[in-house]
Structures are given as structure tokens and as C-alpha cells.
Amino acid sequence: MDTDTLTLGLVWYWAFLFSTVAHEAAHAWTAYRLGDPTAYHEGQVSLDPIPHIRREPLGTVAFPLVTYLMGGWMMGWASAPYDPFWAATYPRKAAWMALAGPLANLTIAVAAGIAIRLGMLAGIFVMPESAYFTEVTLGIPGGWWHGAAMFLSILFTLNVVLFTFNLIPLYPLDGSVAITLLMNERLTERYREFTMNPTLSMFGLVIAWQLFDPIFRPLFRVALQCLYPGHF
């Protein structure tokens, strides 16, 4: 593995791990505030990656590294435990808990976008001719601005990806629970009974993966237009 590949992999992993841990910590913190301390007792109401890695070493370490070596980008997962009895008793609270993760990713994407704009005002970042995962912005030659631009580019795009994918309303994604905020109590109960079927998990992920690209592309274009008004 050459130095450039290794450096890009480290940048990718920092962005991936921070984004994933923030997502799960938001779930854990929201559940704790709303009455379920399960994740809190496991130390997951924290941006410390260790409790999250300890719970899901395959999804937070092994799988991201394998996908990077095979495809040049990282995929993975983490999880925060919760009390299913609490979720069944307080379905609206459970829905807010589910929504908290994607909202954390949206917050990170916005923060990365603000940092990019500030960098442009400071003259250290410039707009690329075409934007993609690792080049939403470019650093000026010299110094470490290229690495900073790469990190912010990945952080921006990755969190738009996580926000979009997790809000698809198919089980087991967060959107499948968050959508119950739009339902009345009776419909929510019927919906919960339907989604308790474990076979829906694999089907939901397969269908969500097929739906993702046509949903993500226009949303990412909107994100870029917000970042660079009048362009893209």
C-alpha cells in the first residue's frame, strides 16, 4: 500500500468513525433524556469511540477497512442498545430517538459546509470544477490545507449519505421508526406489529439500497447548491 492510499484511508476512517459514533451517541443521548438509560449504562452517551467499537468491532473496524481496500471508500455500521419494552410503551419517544441519529449527521454536514465556506473566505479553500466524495472543496497548494479540504469533503458528503440512507422509511433503518411521528396511535401500533417480522430486515436493506441512488443524487445536488449558490 503506497503512502497516498494509506493517508486517504486514515482520513476516511477518521471521518467515518466520527460520523458513525456521533450518530449512535445521538440515539443514546436522546433515549437517556426520554427515559431509557440502557445505552447510557453501556457508556454510549459519548463521542468516545471505544464503547461503540467494543459493541460493534466488525461494523466499526473490520468492514470499513475491507470496503476501503476493495472499493476506495468506507461502509460500516454501529448500534446503540435500547429497551424494547420502553420503545413499545412510548412509541413517540422511540421515534424521536430514531430521528436523533440522522439529525446528528445532518448537523455534521452543515458544520462541515460552514467550515468549507469559512475556508473559502480565508482564501485557503477553492471550489472544484466538479465535486465528488473527496473533493467537495480543494485546498490551496502548500501546507496541510489539502488534507483539511479532503477531510471536510468526506465529512460533508458522508454525512449527507448517512442522513439520506438512514431516513429511508424501511425496516431496520431509522426512518422506519421516525415515520411513526406522522401516524396516530392506532396506526403506529399496527405498523409496529408489522415491522416486528425479522424477515423484513434483509428485504428492507436490499430495497433501501436500490432506492438510495435516485434519492441521494438530487439531494446531494441541493446540498452542493447550498454550499456553492449558482453552481452545480
If we measure between CA atoms, which residue out of 218, 208, 174 comes closest to residue 20? 174
Catalytic residue among 24, 185, 189, 193: 24
What Cα–Cα distance (Å) separates residue 28 from each residue in 22, 99, 194? 10, 11, 25
Residues paired with residue 126 on neighbouring β-strands, in sequence order: 138
Question: 42 catalytic, yes or no?
Answer: no
CA-based diameter of the chain, in Å?
61
- Pairwise CA distance, residues 69 & 203, whole Å: 27
State the DSSP code for 62: I
Q: Are 95 and 181 in contact (CB under 8 A)?
A: yes
Active-site residues, by number, are 24
